Structure 1
Amino acid sequence: MPIPPILETILECIEPSSSFTGALPRVTSSSGATYFVKLGRPSEKEQYEGESESLRLFDRSSPGIAPKLFVNGIDESTERPYMISEYIDVKSSSLSSHGGAEYLAKKLATEVHSLSSENGKFGFSIPTYCGVTRIENGWYDTWEEAYGKMIGGLLDGIEREGRDPRGELVKMGKEVITRAIPHLLGPRLKCTPSFLHGDLWSGNVAISTRTSKPFIYDPSSYFGHNEADLSIARIFEGFPRAFYETYHQYRTKSEPVEEYEQRADLYELFHYLNHMLVFGVSLKGEAQ
């Protein structure tokens, strides 16, 4: 679609005296700069705000690891949300090429996951979206409580959408909240709030043509236990062993180390439940 007048006006504020060509989402200025311009529906205001706030925090924690956000807001005349960010050309390559896995692992371990919440709590200030699923967020004093709320929200959605007609999965999930989460994520776990991508799988990673380095996008961010950010990549693969090995060279496994694999399974559960909520029964077996 052509550039709407409201977005062209905003682009002119970013680059005064420039003209702009192209069609959404890729817009090029007369200076040669290229922008990624998104215009949503009024119902997507919350989603755009969550992604925008996430991108701001990526720029604060690790500049270049995600597209730089220039501006976001609401077009008052139409109530449609918009975002304007850096446009990054990508090339066909994988994390296994040219040290990409090691680069991304180090950036996450030493920069992104080193950013903590200003209030020292777990969660996030506003809702974010993991795919199309709204994560309510909020602030919690403990990781145990925060993650329990995240799992509980998905179980409520599964029940509401009729994805588990017999109630077997929801019943098991509630036991996870009352038994497994307190055991594995309670006071024995040594962790502090880390800024997370929240949906870090290979489909949300690309290689920049300009730098030949990986960058990440489409976040569903919150402040949580850093190990939770490694979970969905285990499900859908695409991250080589070198990624995990390098990551833990810079950020060691949390104590108690002997429960690392059990915690990883518990963090995978969030994504299995989310995919079941979105797509139906396709991943019910894995979730169980």
Structure 2
Amino acid sequence: MNYNGADGLEFGAGNTKIDPAVLRELPEGCKVTSTENHGVSFWAQTGRIDVLLRDGTPQSFFIKVSSKELGMNMTRGEFHSMSAMHNVLPEFVPRPIACGTYRTIPETHFFLCEFREMTDDMPDPHKFAALLSTLHQKSVSPTGKFGFHITTYAGNLPQFVAWEDSWEVFFAKTMRQALDLEIERKGPSEELDVLSRALFEKVIPRLLRPLESDGRVVKPSLVHGDLWYANAGIDVDNDQPLVFDACCFFAHNESDIKLGGLTHMYQRFLSITRHFAHSEAILSLLSSLAANELNRVLDVMRDLVQRYG
């Protein structure tokens, strides 16, 4: 966990004291009535802040707190990601409010958003795919390219977000950065080196280049970036799907489909390229890398190189 503690400002146990930087982002004149731990994160401390507004109306907020430079970058990335999604489809995500740094505790950073009570049940696939396809269709890259304006993090791992004109180039650089981080964490592997060469020299061009050949283009769509069951829920108030913990960038919309396992339902709302069977195979690499399982990564790479190398 990338969290060093916040002495005197921990959530729960009757504590209602919060850092002035957080208080400044809450509604003016509100009174904090309680704090409590809420949710689970491998990389941060998460909590709920309950307040009474000036008129006596109760309101709640979700907060995520992390430490050091990595924590600052992660909370910024999440705020900008959730803001980008909220700007396109506000009913799909809790409203982001702020990110910032504690005034009273060094190197302690936070992300703050509205609190939405959710169940842990999987959202209805039909509703979920409809909202996801709307996000992909309505979003527009500000540069017309693939990437994002700030580094975002899948867990605690930085993603490649530099702007690129080509989906093939962007994907290849994404994979290169992810594999380099894997090698940095777990050491070099002769097999991984051999498979990587085949992946970049043969597999990626063979599978992705046709998407941008003979007049075909790939639209950069805003994607969640880490779409799986633990980052989605059902709003208790309206029974609608919600997603959170976004690490966005503009990519091929199929990135989210693969990670969300929504292929068949998604087809009802947004056409999938005829090359999806091929690109689905290579996008499975992203999900295996996100799972931080080297053996799984190697299995996927072996399969791709055998079939397409």
TM-score calculated relative to the size of structure 2: 0.80
1:39 aligns with 2:39: no
Residues of 2 paired with 1:185 and 1:244: CA distance?
A: 18
Q: Is the 8 A contact 1:195 1:221 kept in 2?
A: yes
1:109 aligns with 2:133: yes
Secondary structure (helix, strand or coil) at the match of 1:210 reads coil
Name the count of aligned residue pairs: 268
Residues of 2 paired with 1:200 and 1:113: CA distance?
A: 17
Residue number among 27, 41, 45 corresponding to 1:15 in the alignment: 27
- Structure 1 residues 9, 280: closer, same or farther in 2, change over 3 A? same
Shift of 1:208: 1.4
Residues of 1 paired with 2:49 and 2:142: CA distance?
A: 35
Secondary structure (helix, strand or coil) at the match of 1:125 reads coil
Deviations along 1:97-146, one digit per CA (max 9) or x if unpaired, are xxx21111111112344302111010111111112211131111111111
Q: Which amino acid aligns with 2:151?
A: P
- Structure 1 residues 73, 113: closer, same or farther in 2, change over 3 A? farther
Residues of 2 paired with 1:285 and 1:202: CA distance?
A: 23
Residues of 2 paired with 1:279 and 1:10: CA distance?
A: 41
Shift of 1:225: 0.4
Q: Is the 8 A contact 1:48 1:81 kept in 2?
A: yes
Equivalent in the alignment of 1:149? 173
Shift of 1:247: 1.6
Secondary structure (helix, strand or coil) at the match of 1:67 reads coil
Shift of 1:60: 0.7
Q: Is the 8 A contact 2:231 2:245 kept in 1?
A: yes
- Structure 1 residues 177, 46: closer, same or farther in 2, change over 3 A? same
Equivalent in the alignment of 1:27? 49
Equivalent in the alignment of 1:175? 198
1:260 aligns with 2:303: no
Provide structure 2 residue ranges, at least 5 long, that are not aligned to the other structure. 1-9, 12-16, 38-46, 303-309
Secondary structure (helix, strand or coil) at the match of 1:139 reads coil
Secondary structure (helix, strand or coil) at the match of 1:37 reads strand
Equivalent in the alignment of 2:285? 269
Deviates more, 1:78-87 or 1:194-203: 78-87
Equivalent in the alignment of 1:94? 122
Shift of 1:210: 1.1
Deviates more, 1:197-206 or 1:73-82: 73-82
Provide structure 1 residue ranges, at least 5 long, that are not aligned to the other structure. 235-242
RMSD: 2.0
Q: Which amino acid aligns with 1:177?
A: F
Alignment of structure 1 residues 151-166 onto 2, 5 Å = 151-163=175-187, 165=189
- Structure 1 residues 101, 163: closer, same or farther in 2, change over 3 A? farther
Deviations along 1:139-164, one digit per CA (max 9) or x if unpaired, are 11111111101100111122222355
Residues of 1 paired with 2:115 and 2:197: CA distance?
A: 42
Shift of 1:50: 0.7
Q: Is the 8 A contact 2:19 2:102 kept in 1?
A: no
Residues of 2 paired with 1:264 and 1:279: CA distance?
A: 19
Percent identity between matched residues is: 21
Deviations along 1:231-274, one digit per CA (max 9) or x if unpaired, are 1234xxxxxxxx433321221012xx0x2111011011122134
Higher relative contact order (CA 8 A, sep 6+): 1
Residues of 2 paired with 1:46 and 1:113: CA distance?
A: 28
- Structure 1 residues 63, 179: closer, same or farther in 2, change over 3 A? same
Residues of 1 paired with 2:133 and 2:173: CA distance?
A: 25
Q: Which amino acid aligns with 1:28?
A: D
Secondary structure (helix, strand or coil) at the match of 2:153 reads strand
Residues of 2 paired with 1:65 and 1:216: CA distance?
A: 6
1:50 aligns with 2:50: no
Q: Is the 8 A contact 1:128 1:220 kept in 2?
A: yes
Deviates more, 1:50-59 or 1:175-184: 175-184
1:79 aligns with 2:92: no
Equivalent in the alignment of 1:246? 265
Residues of 1 paired with 2:282 and 2:296: CA distance?
A: 19
Residues of 2 paired with 1:176 and 1:114: CA distance?
A: 32
Larger proportion of helix: 1
